[in-house]
Amino acid sequence: MTGKPKLVPSDQDLREIFALFSSPTDYERQQVYDETGGHFYGREDLLCEYTLRQEKREFAEGAWRAVMHFLYGNGFVLSKNGKEYDLGTSSGYDVESAG
């Protein structure tokens, strides 16, 4: 035990992460936070099946972008060996126009 709190995502967090993952472009990512957009995360049904039809590299890159943007958008800080990383630019999205 490290004594540090465990980070456990809520269903709302999981919806947001899935919507980010399945919205690879900047335009789609902006729609994730727009209630009128076609990619709004609040409407994701976590019980529905999702079939991947992409290369493993594409999957990994999409997952990376989604998680980095989720952490960035929720104010998390990531560091290793005393070096702090910029989660916004690490996501690969245009964070200047982030919603």
Could you tell me the residue ranges of all domains in the chain? 11-44+53-97
pLDDT digits (tens, 9 = 90+) for 5-45: 777 889 999 999 998 888 778 888 889 999 998 889 999 99
Say which residue, 15 or 2, is predicted with more confidence.
15
- Which tokens belong to 33? 């936070």
Q: Rounded to an integer, what distance in angstroms lies between the CA atom of residue 87 and that of residue 18?
A: 18
Indicate whether 48 pLDDT > 70.
yes
- Which tokens belong to 92? 């690969």
Q: Rounded to an integer, what distance in angstroms lies between the CA atom of residue 5 and that of residue 72?
A: 19
Look at 22-26, 51-55, 73-77, 94-98 and tell me which has the smallest mean pLDDT: 94-98
Query: What is the average pLDDT value for the chain, to the nearest integer?
Result: 85
Are 69 and 29 a contacting pair, CB within 8 Å?
yes
Q: Rounded to an integer, what distance in angstroms lies between the CA atom of residue 29 and that of residue 98?
A: 8
